[in-house]
Structure formats: structure tokens, C-alpha cells
Structure 1
Amino acid sequence: MLAPPSSTGSVMDRARIDELTRQISSHTVMDDVVKDMLCEYIDEYVDVLVNHVCRMVKHRGTHRIEARDVEFVLDAVYKMPSVPRASVHVFGAPASIRPDRITPQPTEAHKQRMLLIKKVVKKP
């Protein structure tokens, strides 16, 4: 459910944060300073995300932002995997949930080259 935009122009306001907090735990109480900080953090996060998406869309040579653009930036920049869309399952294509990225282990040859480089750099 989308909340109506606040009058201050921010993505999230104190009332919406209170509502979300009550959904998680009815006993949790936040200070106004914390609510303001969360509002600022969310606004900054959305600004940076939209900036990344717009740069990518411009690089792609189009003027239209699509859901896949946002999913790509969330995955590539923030390492947040996307949830498979319902249309993928409806048309019979298997949902591919990518595993966490695995960093390749350096080979023995690479380790030897790096040791040689370090040795040469330290010689002076």
C-alpha cells in the first residue's frame, strides 16, 4: 500500500514511520530525533538510487525507467537480490534466484606473481 506523499516533499514522514513501527511492534517507541534521522536517511537513499538508475538508463540510450532498471541497480550496487516477478511464473519460465556472489579464489600462479611484484616494489 502506497502512502500519499507528504506535504514536505519527503518520501517518508513521521506518521508513516509510527505506523510501520506499530506494525512491527506495538510496544516500540521512537524519539522524534530518530524519526527525523530515518526520514532523512530514506530521502537520501531514494535520491542516490534514482540517480544511479537515471545514469544507467541514460547510458542504455533510453528515456524511460523500467522496473528491471531499478532491480539491476539494487542488485549491482546495493547487493540486494530481487524477488522473482509473478509474470515469470505465469508464463512457465523457471524463476532463477541467483546465489550470493562467490568471489573467485586466486590461483597459485597469481599468488606467485603477486609475491614477485611485492618483492620488486620493496627492493629500492
Structure 2
Amino acid sequence: MLAPPSSNGSIMDRTRIDELARQTSANTVLDDVVKDMLCDYTDEFVNELVSHVCKLVKHRGNHRIEARDVEFVLDMVYKMPSAPRASVHVFGAPAPIRPDRITPQPTEAHKQRMLLIKKVVKKP
């Protein structure tokens, strides 16, 4: 469950970072400088993510941010694929936002042209 933002407007504060570190490993101790850096990095990441999502929504001509917009930006901009939602397993998979690209196989003529180019480049 998400907690409300801290009093200074930051998304993550030092206590939340300590809690996350303890969940990962009970022996983990973070310096104050590292905690501050992680807080700043989290704020910067979320601001950039929201900015990209808003640009996408505006480009689509929509006025509402949807989960698929955030998933698209995370996947395409940050290369972070999203985990499937529970509705996918119950109601069937939704159509992909962007279909997988199919790389065409090079034709014989293309292969011959590439061999010719390689020969010309090798000659001094």
C-alpha cells in the first residue's frame, strides 16, 4: 500500500528507504548521503515519468492518463516491461499497445549488394 507523500513534498523519505532496505536485508545500513541521493533520484524519476506520460496523452488527444499510458512509457522510454495485471488472467490479454516488430529476412539481391559493398570497402 502506498503511503502519502512526506511533509517536504518528496515521494520517498529516509524512513521509507530504511524500511525498504530492511525488507531487502536486515543487515543493510545506508548512509545519510545515500538516503538523500535515493530520495532525489526517486523524485526526479517520477517527475520525468509523469512528464513523458503527459506528453503522450496530449499527443493522443486525450485528457485522461490511463494505466496503459504509464506502461507504454515505462516499456518504450525506460525499457522496463510491466508486470501483467490480474485482469489479463481473468478476462484474456488485451491487445498490445505496440505490436512486436517483425524483422524481414534479407533477400538474395540484398545479400549480393552487401557483399559487393564489403569488397569495395576492403580495396584500398
* TM-score bucket of the superposed structures, by smaller chain: 0.7 to 0.9
Distance, in Å, in 1 between the alignment partners of 2:94 and 2:85 is 8
Give percent identity, aligned residues only.
65
TM-score (norm 2): 0.77
RMSD across aligned positions (CA): 3.1
Aligned length: 115
Alignment of 1:21-100 (within 5 A): 21-91=21-91, 93-94=92-93
Distance, in Å, in 1 between the alignment partners of 2:70 and 2:21 is 26
Distance, in Å, in 2 between the alignment partners of 1:64 and 1:77 is 20
TM-score (norm 1): 0.77
Per-residue deviation, residues 72-101 of structure 1 (Å, max 9, x unmatched): 10011111111111112112x25899xxx8
Distance, in Å, in 2 between the alignment partners of 1:58 and 1:94 is 26
8 Å CA contact 1:14, 1:36 repeated in 2: yes
Give 5+ residue unaligned stretches, structure 2.
none
Over 4 Å off, 4+ runs: 94-97, 101-108
Give 5+ residue unaligned stretches, structure 1.
120-124
